[in-house]
Amino acid sequence: MSLPLRFRQLHDHSRAEPTVSWELRRDRLQRLRHLLIRHKHDIATAISQDFGNRSQHETQFLEVFTSLQAIDHALAHGHIWMQPQSRPTSIWYKPARNILLPQPLGVVGIITPWNYPLLLTIGPLSCVLAAGNLAMVKLSEHTPTFGTLFDQLIRQSFSDDEIAIVNGDSSGDRSGDSGGNVALAQEFCALPFDHLVFTGSTAVGREVMRVASTNLTPVTLELGGKSPAIIGPSADFRHAVTRIISGKLLNAGQTCIAPDYVLLPKGREKAFIDCARDVVARFYPSLNDERLATDDYTSIVNQRHYERLAALCSDAQQHGAVLTPLSRRAPHASTRLLPPLAVTQAPADARIMQEEIFGPLLPLVTYEKIGDAIATVNAGPRPLALYVFDNDSRIIDRVLQQTVSGGVTINDTLLHIAQEDLPFGGVGASGIGAYHGEEGFRRFSHMKPVFRQSRINAMRLFSPPYGKAFALLMKLLIR
């Protein structure tokens, strides 16, 4: 069935049943939850096959568990979110009442990237279903094994007029090259959705927004950018390095909110590298011993991305940067194994300092004063995430107040994305709009404003013919 026909099926269903009971919303969320529980190992295996090697433990923790968190949060609170909300009424119009009536938008399109194909589908989808909508989901061509499996699982649990899965091109590709069947991505974006969610690169996000604008489709864009990690002068240095390396190397750095570069006090580069090597040896012993399997360390998703990262390294060296391995294992192109590298002395015009890295390469940038670190962050586009490590609350507050980013984790990395009571999204070049929890419910609902007039009201005093009484009222009101 063609995309327009599949969309029409969902659209007609949404218009035929504009009111969606909590019982039906809960049933859909529970079906989605049962699907994940029953097939969590199959899903992790499929994603690993798509990557060449993707840690099954990481998939269970980062994707399955976090997806279940989102669903469970919606199940626990959705019936409250969908209740009409009372709003104050101006004194001049009492005893009338104001309410906000949450209503489903209709059909929401979701474009999912390859790096977290399950989480970045289920995250928005759980909010979409809680809000009473139907969904059409386009998965990336870079995860075809997962895409085929997920399509089968959805078809087993949902009817075609509830959720439709489209497998195809990788419009969420963060390298800036959409690859594959670009026409399919454009056709998907051109459908007259009631809302469209895209997760991917800023460059492709601009094109998604341009195509969607033809139908005035509202968009939520979850993009990326260069998310900094600031080690403050009073930080627990070893803790900071440990948590930065942990956040950087999950999924081999192929994470939209991974620390992209580190800002640390001048003279601490060697201490950072020495500590980072200890952390890598402890977390990933196979990266220092070729006799061990690298099951816990994820491969780069495909050859093109591996070559892109190699090109970043080559360009950095040509610009005078120093690349320091954080383990003894050498890169292996055929398996796309890329061990972590620290990058020092990289000039600002090197590609690695201009582009989102999306891999296990970690530039170290020094500063003299914390104000210099803040200035470095503010000199670039606003990042999707920011991390600050310090034990001095004044330093932390200064960074929070003087920088703008999509989200922040203090004295750790990544964990703000796992908080269902915090919205997740970017700002400026790193995104438009946010979802998660109640904010996600509102994002995918029309919060209809309703004014309910009382049988007893004063509006007759404001009707023509206008005379002295009206003039006195205006004198009273306008002063």
Amino acid at 60: Q
Order of strands, edge to edge, in the sheet holding 445-452?
Answer: 85-87, 97-104, 445-452
Beta bridge partners of 165: 137
Q: Where are the beta strands (DSSP E) in 192-289?
A: 195-199, 219-222, 228-231, 261-265
Q: Which residues 6+ apart lie within 8 Å of 199 measured at CB?
A: 111, 112, 113, 120, 172, 222, 223, 256
Sign of CA dihedral 144, 147, 149, 152: negative
Reading phi first (left if > 0) and then psi (alpha if -120 to 50, else beta), residue 225 is in left
CB atoms within 10 A of CB 477: 9
SS3 357: coil
Tokens of 71: 């669903």
Q: Is 222 a catalytic residue?
A: yes
Closest CA relative to residue 119, chosen from 102, 143, 141: 143
Q: What is the residue whose two structure tokens read 């890169």? A: 331
Sign of CA dihedral 256, 187, 8, 114: negative
Q: Where are the beta strands (DSSP E) in 212-340?
A: 219-222, 228-231, 261-265, 322-325
Alpha carbon distance 225, 229 (integer Å): 13
Give Cα separations from 117 to 15, 176, 262, 380 (angstroms).
29, 18, 27, 28
Of 162, 222, 269, 356, which is the active-site residue? 222
Closest CA relative to residue 79, chosen from 37, 159, 33, 24: 24
Alpha carbon distance 70, 418 (integer Å): 9
What are the catalytic residues?
Answer: 222
